Chain A
């Protein structure tokens, strides 16, 4: 299971990459593997605001639809339209396949996210 050390993680299997006051968010290798073939991604509109823990996107495998939760609070500044056309990228390159970029409203929230090591432990327990 691939868990890059330079990212932060949520307990709901999202990754967060901090870039100044912004962060890009996607789902982890563990998540894409558990979901199986991803055939649909529903993204929010740019400008939408989400609190930490709120569902902001939906990924659908052949079998089922799953919510994607925002690990941090903020306003969506960019969405990855490429995933709408090619949802399978989430399977083949989960850490390259960012869903959205968020302008962080509370950078302090970062501290409550999991490190790669902590997230790795969580995956093993599941």
Chain B
């Protein structure tokens, strides 16, 4: 089945660990190993290792790199120091979202963008269209392997494999050129689970050995490999958006509740005029979180109603393994979209009661808070 699909450097490793391979954004990736519920619980209580090599990587270099990224993204690149990362949006002039990305700053003229797998070509073209001759954009996707070790025991496990002091690596900080299990890596304290953890970048050739070494070091802590299924339930509980669901060319960051990542007072950027106008006027639609009161699991695109009138649709929904409830996010009319308000989710032509709750559904109580969290 996998012949026409792209394979990460860990494809054979996933098969060896019993991963159940599915197609995702053109890639052959494991949806699960032991089971989504098991893997989800492991990340919340211990640690889990994810292959995220399918994520796109664009390198941005040159004298004009800083101004270019200021213009392209909604975040303030002026606030970004060397070896730090920010979460940011790329928007169209109309305010809709091209992609949501991480921007790593290596130096004043050297940046590294981590983008969604499904958007690599679109982002590269968008960057190429909007850049000047003083900027060089290189697609490094496929030549960098990426994995994420996430969970309360992630630091303890990774620390056992390196001389670098990971305790001092703060949230959204980067450590370049460190050795983990004797392999040269870049590490950032970032993730997509709502837990503490790291994303680790290395060369494709070294990825299988690094994967094995991390799981071996994690064995006493019962760390497990984790597939895309639990990656989705973890990010949903943490209220993190997924491109194509909570974000799209037809949804602005303000509608998606990401206004804190839109720096309207920084130098001009693509989409600023439209977003400033929307901000001034107020949004017509807004992203909300909800919990089901009736039995039933909400899924993407199910209609949301209030008093028999359609007011929006579900963007993501699932059974929440941590909360043991059925939860979802929905884009609905902003008027009246307050916590505690009852709504109906239409599941298989039946109206099922739900109540609006705050996002995130699950919030980690960090022992030692290390700065801001991605959304």
- Do A and B bind? yes
Q: Are B31 and A39 in contact (CB under 8 A)?
A: no
Question: Using Cβ atoms and an 8 Å threshold, which residues of chain A touch B31?
Answer: 36, 63
Is the beta-carbon distance between B348 and A62 smaller than 8 angstroms?
A: no
Q: Are A37 and B295 in contact (CB under 8 A)?
A: no
User: Would A63 and B229 be within 8 Å (CB), given that A36-B32, A36-B35 are in contact?
Assistant: yes
Total count of chain A residues near the partner, CB < 8 A: 13
Contact A62 B37 (CB under 8 A): yes
The yes or no answer to A60 lying at the interface (CB within 8 A) is yes
What chain A residues lie within 8 Å of B229 (beta carbons)?
A: 36, 62-63
Using known A-B contacts A36-B229, A39-B297, A63-B229, determine if residue A58 contacts B348 with beta carbons closer than 8 Å: yes
**Contact flags A51-82 to B (C-beta < 8 A → 1, else 0):** 00000001011111100000000000000000
Q: Is A89 an interface residue (CB 8 A)?
A: no
Q: Is B254 an interface residue (CB 8 A)?
A: no
For residue B299, which residues in chain A have a CB less than 8 angstroms away from its CB?
A: 64-65
B106 to chain A, nearest CB (A): 37
- B233 / chain A contacts, CB cutoff of 8 Å: 62
Which residues of B from 67 to 116 have beta carbons under 8 Å from A? none
What B residues does A37 contact at CB under 8 A?
A: 35-37
Query: B31: nearest residue on chain A (CB-CB)?
Result: A63
Which residues of chain B come closer than 8 Å to A65, judged between CB atoms? 297, 299
Q: Assess whether A84 is interfacial by the CB under 8 Å rule.
A: yes
Please give the distance in Å from A40's CB to the nearest CB on chain B. 5
Given contacts A36-B35, A36-B36, A37-B36, contact A62 B321 (CB under 8 A): yes
Q: Please classify how large the interface on chain B is, using the bins under 10, 10 to 19, 20 to 34, 35 or more.
A: 10 to 19
Q: How far is the CB of A26 from chain B (nearest CB, A)?
A: 20
Contact of A62 with B319 at beta-carbon distance under 8 Å, contacts A36-B36, A37-B35, A37-B36 already known = yes
Closest CB of chain A to B150's CB: distance in Å? Answer: 18
Q: Which residues of A contact B203 (CB under 8 A)?
A: none
B226: shortest Cβ distance to chain A, in Å?
A: 13
Q: Does B194 contact A (CB under 8 A)?
A: no
- B36, A63: Cβ atoms closer than 8 Å: yes
Query: Are B318 and A40 interface neighbours, CB within 8 A?
Result: no
Q: Does the CB pair A60–B297 fall under 8 Å?
A: yes
Taking CB atoms, residues of chain B closer than 8 Å to A64 are 299
Contact B35 A40 (CB under 8 A): no
Complex Cα spacing A116 to B322, Å:
38
Whether, in the assembled complex, B197 has its beta carbon less than 8 Å from a beta carbon of chain A, the answer is no
B296 CB within 8 Å of chain A: yes
A84 to B294, CA, bound (A): 12
The CA of A62 and the CA of B295, in the complex, are separated in Å by 15
* A42 touching B296, Cβ below 8 Å: yes
- Return the CB mask of B297-334 against A: 1 if under 8 Å, else 0: 10100000000000000000011010000100000000
Question: Which of chain A's residues have a CB closer than 8 A to the CB of B321?
Answer: 62
CB distance from B286 to the nearest CB of A (A): 27
Known: A36-B229, A37-B35, A62-B37. 18 other contacts (CB 8 A): A36-B32, A36-B35, A37-B37, A39-B319, A40-B295, A40-B296, A40-B326, A42-B295, A42-B296, A42-B348, A58-B348, A60-B297, A60-B319, A62-B229, A62-B321, A63-B36, A63-B229, A84-B295
A sample of 13 cross-chain residue pairs with beta-carbon separation below 8 angstroms, ordered by A number, consists of: A39-B297, A40-B295, A40-B296, A40-B326, A42-B348, A60-B297, A61-B36, A62-B36, A62-B233, A62-B318, A62-B319, A62-B321, A64-B299
Interface residues of B (CB under 8 A from A): 20, 31-32, 35-37, 229, 233, 295-297, 299, 318-319, 321, 326, 348
